[in-house]
Amino acid sequence: MRMVNIPFGITDWSSVERVEHKGQTGAAYWRTQDFGGIRVRMVDYSPGYLADHWCTKGHILLCLDGELHIELKDGRKHVLTPGMSYQVADDAEPHRSFTEIGAALFIVD
């Protein structure tokens, strides 16, 4: 990823519109900014959230709060707690997220 033509700026995430995205169960609430084709999001997953699809988009994801379970399509499973992150390339390893208690995330993709 090459970051170009992005002037210095500060984002007050509390002022960014919160958009609901339904999961198979629960919901994800995204606050999204675009910086030269780089999508940056603050995402809150409700308790009981389960993604409704296998994602093939690449991400760098940091867990800020709660607990996030990541399942890869090949059967591997991982758990993130606050301060942990994961990274995956586009079209590399399909994955989906689940949380029992909810989670707050910072995601760059």
The enclosing domain of 88 has a CATH number of: 2.60.120.10
Residue at 19 is within a domain:
no
What is the pLDDT averaged over residues 64-69? Answer: 98
Burial (0-12, 13-18, 19+ Cβ within 10 Å), 6: exposed
Contact 64/16 with Cβ under 8 angstroms?
no
Confidence of residue 5 (pLDDT cuts 50, 70, 90): confident
Confidence of residue 15 (pLDDT cuts 50, 70, 90): very high
Residue at 33 is within a domain:
no
Residue at 24 is within a domain:
no
Residue at 11 is within a domain:
no
pTM across the whole model: 0.92
State the Rg of the chain over Cα.
14
The pLDDT of residue 3 is above 90: no
Domain that holds residue 84: 38-108
Residue at 7 is within a domain:
no
Residue at 50 is within a domain:
yes
Output the CA–CA distances (angstroms, integers) from residue 47 to 8, 10, 57, 86, 105, in the order listed. Answer: 35, 30, 23, 20, 14
Split into its structural domains, the chain has a count of 1
What is the pLDDT averaged over residues 97-109? Answer: 97
- Give which of 1, 47, 51, 56 is closest to 21, Cα–Cα: 51
Strand partners, 43: 30, 105
pLDDT given at position 78: 98
